């Protein structure tokens, strides 16, 4: 890729930034068009609409243009045009984020830079166990390439059919298998990204170790498009499991989930790849709402644990040994209501429970969502306390608590008090404040995996020490001195 | 810790930086002394000497003062004094680095900030599987705390008895177990660090997931003291293995090591925790030099593989199964000269071979060291090519090649042509250039785990694209605008 000036907008004599008002709108559009061609621009309002609203319909913006570059050189050319004219850029992948991070503001002066046309597989290296793909490739497609090479891209999020590699990198996506495989940042061996001045950061060598300078690829991962546009990533792959032991257990207390996890990990080689908790409210709405699922247990409990252990290699005694160990651990903890999947179909039906929780919640109307984390040793106490305290705070309030308990990360969603009706702002604010305050007091985070976007900027101001915000702003100014990258996101 | 101005040096009216020449040396020393007390300063030349030279005696500097703060508040106070007077700071941990990153220049105007007095265990969280310790704690001591809690701090480097937690974080240390557990950056859940203006970054909550802003702790990890001083770190711990299968095999070609690793990982749950290659030259010098060790194999080979698989849980058939699988893999690859350790003593004697290579090399005199990495799929080809090409380049040259082949990381050290005599500069430069050029052509790194320090700044300029250097410099300027943090290191 040429990193040189494209010569169309910049020329030797004029390097100053023109204020937006002074730039001629038609000239700018012609410049974009000259770089991208007709296939790279969405001209009409109807075509732009799906890009200007997030998939849940919660955030609405209006863009100057939706640009769909075909390669990294086009991204760089677009960035240079934007830098010259002072136009802000909102990068967008699959548009499946939960915090409005990919939605422009309503002024109609920001461009949406969609990476969806850049979805090539650059390379897959079975011996080096890595895959390099462009930002717009859907995660599920990247998973498929890994599978074809006999390997696993171990990220598992609900939106993986639509969410893109670039979006998952930009938001440091988490999901179901973080416990064993880590979040996206841990899989990123390097990224290719275009900086706001059109220059390139490219670190796609597939190196497992490289101590030559700062961890820029790690820094760009999770920066939500506020520092640069990720155009490709090299991700580490893992061996594929040959089988799974999947079970569902009723619990009295979420602490039992943690105790069982500690004992299981300490005592065996098994890869514990998922450890998902959900509450009695989750079970209730699974039954009462679509998908109308009933738990295959003997009786109701306060909490439930869906656990999965991955096995590797040829069929062996490993699964039997795991089942025996699980049975012993359940005995030790006094857990007597547990089912194990004995077929792929049963495994799928257990996972359908976990995956159905969000669907069931949606059918009740607008809920109040939180995505918090604390050190795993503190998560059980936090969950128990919040369920009880929020019910005291707002009589009748039901908290749908579910998530990645092994990582210390729970989704704590307050269901609407009345079906289909959003909670009054005053009540919602009080509930959110209580949940975040308690999490913060326990040393935790108000956004474990969903990011900040535009949704949680106020929380950044409230919970981050001023010294931290200064550091974040200094980094932002260093890489994006004009403030053109996804303004109004992440930083308060 | 108070983050406020200490009032001693700054006062309300004077916030400008004084040039060094204008500052009165005695006043500065008195300011340091007032903050640190006599225990916190090394006054005499003899006392300062061990801090001013690296442990190998390769880098020599002269300091204005050696400061030994007792806590983070003292570090912050020192940083504010330095900021006010424009004094540069060289942070130092165990002083075991290999690239001169902790040695000041010779001008006598930089202070050495030793973290060695800050060695407290802040906390250990068995359920959350994390340890928080101060920067000056030796790695071996942190490993011991983890062991006492029934867990493993999975970093293993030769200098771990002296190297500190802070130094290992600042250099993103690697070592023997990166293959399974990753480098230090992957273990760092968060750091506490003091920025050059005396402000604090503290991220010690032990969170496994946190997507609120940029990955500053990841960025500071591996930044070699050029952005901030790491004063404490929270590190993830792992389950302790209950046993190991350790073996040594003779190879014809380093590619066999990679093939065996891929097959072993694909087919089993075992944790392959070490995969170390060494060359026939390594075996020769182990025998001819102290520690005078002979390989317990039937005959000589071109290459050797020392592998280790970790087992977890109660004694079981796992070890027998692993041994059988290894035997089958060796059959498949035509390897017929292999020994397995059948006792802890035998395991230790196999590891003594690997650990003796550096000792043997040292006894020959000054060697020419390189620490390169490529994508693991390319490392065998690179090793074979370099051995042959360097012998062509310099007749009689012997390359001692050893290291972490599973990570794509090899130490490629040219032995002195004459015992005890450093290679002529012209020859050394040609060999180094060839090794780095070939590595670079293969998409690799000229410093996989040792860092840049002062030793490899010229390589930064030669091999990093100008766009990359601009990004690194922008980050440096953002966090250290006065350029006081470890100047002359990392950035060219």
- For an interface test with B, which of A73, A132, A202, A213 has the most B Cβ atoms less than 10 Å from its Cβ? A213
Distance from CA of B215 to the nearest CA of A (A): 5
Q: Which residues of A touch B378 (CB under 8 A)?
A: 128
Q: Which parts of A292-343 fold into alpha helices (H)? A: 318-333
b/e B109-124 (16+ beta carbons within 10 angstroms → b): bbbbbbbbbbbeeeeb
Per CB-CB distance under 8 Å, the chain A contacts of B219 are: 214-215, 218-219, 475
Calculate ∠ Cα B270-B274-B278, nearest 5°.
Answer: 140
Q: Which residue has the tokens 């050495």?
A: B112
Tell me if B128 and A373 make a contact (CB, 8 A cut-off). no
Q: Which of B249, B252, B281, B303 is nearest to B390 (CA)?
A: B281
Contact present, B181 and B155 (Cβ < 8 Å): yes
What's the rounded Cα separation, in Å, for the pair A179 and B375?
26
In angstroms, what separates the C-alpha of A57 from chain B's closest C-alpha? 23
CB A164 within 8 A of CB A120: no
Find all residues with CB under 8 Å of B170, minimum gap 6, and list them: B91, B93, B101, B220, B221, B222, B223, B224, B225, B230
Q: Quick check: B283 pLDDT over 50?
A: yes
CB-CB under 8 Å, A318 with B208: no
Q: Please report residues of A whose CB lies closer than 8 A to that of B270.
A: 269
Alpha carbons B167 and B221: distance in angstroms, whole number: 9
A376, A270 in Cβ contact below 8 A?
Answer: no
E strands of A389-457, at which residues? 399-404, 409-414
Q: Which of A205-219, B174-188, B307-321, B391-405 has the lowest mean pLDDT?
A: B307-321
- Which residues, at least 6 apart from B183, have a Cβ–Cβ distance to it below 8 Å? A209, B172, B173, B174, B449
* CB-based contact A447 B207, cutoff 8 Å: no
Query: Quick one: pLDDT at residue B269?
Result: 64
- Outline where B149-254 has alpha helix (H): 165-170, 178-181, 184-187, 216-220
Share of chain B above pLDDT 90, in %: 88
Q: A52: exposed, middle or buried (C-beta count within 10 Å: 0-12, 13-18, 19+)?
A: buried
Spatial separation of the C-alpha atoms in residues A442 and A440, rounded to whole Å: 5
Contact A219 B223 (CB under 8 A): no
B270 to chain A: closest CA residue: A269
Q: Which residue has the higher pLDDT, B114 or A321?
A: B114
What integer pLDDT is reported at residue A425 of this predicted model? 97
Interface test with A, best of B193, B214, B218, B226 (most A CBs within 10 A): B214
How large is the average pLDDT for residues B106-113?
Answer: 97
pLDDT cut 70: percent of chain B above it: 94
Closest chain B C-alpha to A115 CA, distance in angstroms: 22
Does the structure show a pLDDT above 90 at B321? Answer: no
**What interface predicted TM-score (ipTM) does this complex get?**
0.94
Lowest mean pLDDT among A327-331, B295-299, B475-479: A327-331
Set of chain B residues whose Cβ sits within 8 Å of the Cβ of A236: none
Average pLDDT over residues B61-72: 97
Which structure tokens are listed for A404?
């990645």
pLDDT of residue A24: 63
Per residue in A398-418, pLDDT (tens digit) is 999 999 999 999 999 999 999
Cβ–Cβ under 8 Å, residues B435 and B385: no
What is the rounded CA–CA span in Å between residue A18 and residue A82? 10
Lowest model confidence (mean pLDDT) among B20-24, B189-193, B325-329, B340-344 = B20-24
- Six-digit token pair at B447? 């410093």
Contacts of B408 in chain A (CB under 8 A): 128, 207-209
Taking CA atoms, what residue in A is nearest to B228? Answer: A471
Task: Report yes or no: A464 and B213 within 8 Å, Cβ to Cβ.
Answer: yes
Q: Is A299 exposed, middle or buried (0-12, 13-18, 19+ CB in 10 A)?
A: exposed
How much is the CA Rg of chain A, to the nearest whole Å? Answer: 24
Mean residue pLDDT across chain B: 93
Q: Which pLDDT tens digit goes with each residue over B45-58?
A: 999 999 999 988 99
- Letter string b/e over residues A134-153, b meaning 16 or more CB atoms within 10 A of that residue's CB: bbbbbbebbbebbeebebbb
Lowest mean per-residue pLDDT among A388-392, B22-26, B317-321: B22-26
Pair A138, A163: CB distance under 8 Å: yes
The 3-class secondary structure across A149-179, one letter per residue, is CCEECCCECCCCCCCEHHHHHHCCCCECCHH
Chain B closest CA to A338's CA: distance in Å? 23
- The pLDDT of residue A16 is 44
A149 contact residues in B (CB cutoff 8 A): none
Question: What's the pLDDT score for residue A315?
Answer: 67
Closest Cα in chain B, distance from residue A389 (Å): 23
pLDDT of residue A266: 79
- The two beta strands, A238-239 and A151-152, are antiparallel
Mean of pLDDT values over B294-306? 98
pLDDT reported for residue B316:
67
Beta bridge partners of B232: B134, B192
The pLDDT score that the predictor gives to residue A383 is 98
Q: What is the pLDDT of residue A323?
A: 86
Separation between Cα atoms, residue A140 and residue A290, nearest integer Å: 25
Mutate to test the interface with A, among B269, B311, B404, B467 (most CBs of A within 10 A): B269
User: What is chain A's mean pLDDT, rounded?
Assistant: 93
CB pairs under 8 A between A and B: 282
Cβ <8 Å between A213 and B464? yes
Instruction: Give the gap in angstroms from C-alpha B101 to the nearest C-alpha of chain A.
Output: 12
CA distance A286 to B227: 50
Does residue B63 carry a pLDDT above 70?
yes
CB contact under 8 A, A377 and B478: no
pTM for this model (two decimals): 0.94
pLDDT in the model for residue B1 = 35
**Per-residue pLDDT at B43:** 76
Return the pLDDT at B2: 37
What is the per-residue pLDDT across A93-136, written as a single tens digit (0 to 9) for each?
999 999 999 999 999 999 999 999 999 999 999 999 999 999 99
> Is B447 close to A211, i.e. CB distance below 8 A?
yes
Q: Nearest residue of A to residue B187 by CA position?
A: A186
Helix extents (H) in B2-128: 25-36, 45-52, 72-85
Cβ–Cβ below 8 Å for A373 and B210: yes
Q: How confident is the model at residue A312, as a pLDDT? A: 82
Burial class for B294, CB neighbours closer than 10 Å (0-12, 13-18, 19+): exposed
Q: What is the strand order of the sheet B121-125 is part of?
A: B121-125, B130-134, B229-236, B188-194, B200-202
Cβ(A248)–Cβ(A163) below 8 Å: no
State residue A357's pLDDT score: 98
Sign for the CA dihedral angle at B214, B216, B218, B222 comes to positive
Determine, for residues B265 and A313 on separate chains, whether the beta-carbon distance falls below 8 Å.
Answer: no
Are residues A138 and A162 in contact, defined by beta-carbon separation less than 8 angstroms?
yes
CA angle B51, B55, B57 (to 5 degrees): 95
- Would you write out chain A's pLDDT as a tens digit for each of its 492 residues? 333 333 333 333 333 444 444 456 789 999 999 999 999 999 789 999 999 999 889 999 999 999 999 999 999 999 999 999 999 999 999 999 999 999 999 999 999 999 999 999 999 999 999 999 999 999 999 999 999 999 999 999 999 999 999 999 999 999 999 999 999 999 999 999 999 999 999 999 999 999 999 999 999 999 999 999 999 999 999 999 988 999 999 999 999 999 999 988 877 667 899 999 999 999 999 999 999 999 999 999 999 999 999 988 776 677 888 888 899 999 999 999 999 999 999 999 999 999 999 999 999 999 999 999 999 999 999 999 999 999 999 999 999 999 999 999 999 999 999 999 999 999 999 999 999 999 999 999 999 999 999 999 999 999 999 999 999 999 999 999 999 999 999 999
Q: What is the pLDDT of residue B26?
A: 86
Q: Structure tokens of A433?
A: 């404040």
Q: Are A222 and B211 in contact (CB < 8 Å)? A: yes
Q: What is the DSSP letter of B171?
A: T
Residue B7 pLDDT: 31
B211–A445 CB contact, under 8 Å: yes
Contact check, Cβ <8 Å, B178/A213: no
User: For A380, what's the count of Cα atoms within 13 Å in the CB-facing half-sphere?
Assistant: 19
What lies within 8 Å, CB to CB, of B224 at 6+ separation is B101, B170, B171, B451, B452, B453, B486, B489, B490
């Amino acid at each position: 890729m040429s990193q040189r000036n494209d010569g169309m907008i910049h020329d030797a004599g004029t390097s100053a930034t023109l204020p937006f008002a002074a730039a001629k709108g038609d000239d700018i559009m012609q410049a974009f068009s000259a770089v991208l061609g007709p296939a790279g621009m969405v001209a009409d309002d109807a075509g732009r609409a799906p890009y200007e609203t997030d998939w849940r319909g919660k955030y609405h913006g209006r863009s100057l243009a939706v640009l769909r570059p075909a390669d990294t050189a086009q991204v760089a050319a677009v960035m240079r045009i934007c830098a010259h004219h002072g136009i802000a850029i909102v990068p967008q992948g699959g548009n499946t984020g939960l915090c409005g991070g990919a939605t422009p503001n309503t002024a109609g002066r920001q461009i949406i830079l969609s990476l969806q046309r850049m979805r090539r597989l650059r390379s897959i290296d079975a011996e080096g166990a890595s895959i390099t793909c462009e930002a717009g490739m859907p995660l599920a497609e990247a998973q498929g390439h890994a599978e074809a090479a006999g390997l696993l891209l171990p990220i598992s999020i609900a939106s993986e059919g639509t969410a893109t590699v670039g979006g998952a990198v930009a938001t440091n996506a988490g999901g179901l298998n973080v416990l064993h495989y880590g979040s996206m940042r841990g899989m990123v061996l390097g990224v290719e990204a275009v900086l706001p001045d059109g220059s390139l950061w490219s670190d796609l060598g597939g190196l497992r170790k490289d101590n030559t300078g700062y961890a820029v690829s790690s820094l760009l991962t999770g920066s939500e498009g506020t520092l640069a546009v990720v155009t490709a990533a090299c991700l580490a792959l893992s061996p594929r499991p040959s089988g799974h032991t999947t079970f569902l257990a009723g619990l009295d207390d979420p602490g039992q989930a943690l105790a069982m996890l500690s004992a299981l990990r300490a005592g065996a080689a098994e890869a514990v790849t998922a450890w998902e908790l959900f509450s009695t409210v989750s079970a209730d709405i699974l039954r009462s709402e679509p998908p109308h699922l009933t738990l295959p247990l003997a009786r109701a409990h306060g909490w439930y644990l869906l656990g999965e252990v991955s096995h590797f290699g040829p069929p062996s005694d490993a699964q039997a040994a795991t089942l025996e160990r699980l049975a012993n651990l359940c005995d030790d903890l006094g857990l007597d209501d547990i089912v194990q999947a004995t077929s792929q179909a049963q495994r799928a039906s257990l996972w359908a429970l976990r995956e159905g929780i969000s669907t069931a919640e949606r059918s009740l109307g607008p809920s109040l969502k939180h995505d918090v984390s604390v050190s795993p040793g503190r998560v059980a106490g936090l969950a128990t306390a919040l369920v009880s305290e929020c019910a005291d705070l707002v009589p009748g309030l039901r908290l749908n608590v579910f998530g990645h308990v092994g990582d210390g990360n729970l989704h704590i969603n307050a269901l609407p008090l009345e079906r289909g009706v959003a909670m009054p702002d005053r009540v919602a604010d009080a509930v959110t404040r209580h949940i975040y305050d308690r999490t913060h007091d326990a040393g935790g985070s108000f956004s474990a995996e969903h990011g900040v976007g535009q949704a949680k900027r106020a929380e950044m101001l409230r919970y981050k020490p001023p010294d931290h915000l200064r550091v974040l702003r200094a980094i932002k100014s260093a890489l994006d001195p004009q403030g053109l990258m996804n303004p109004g996101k992440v930083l308060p």
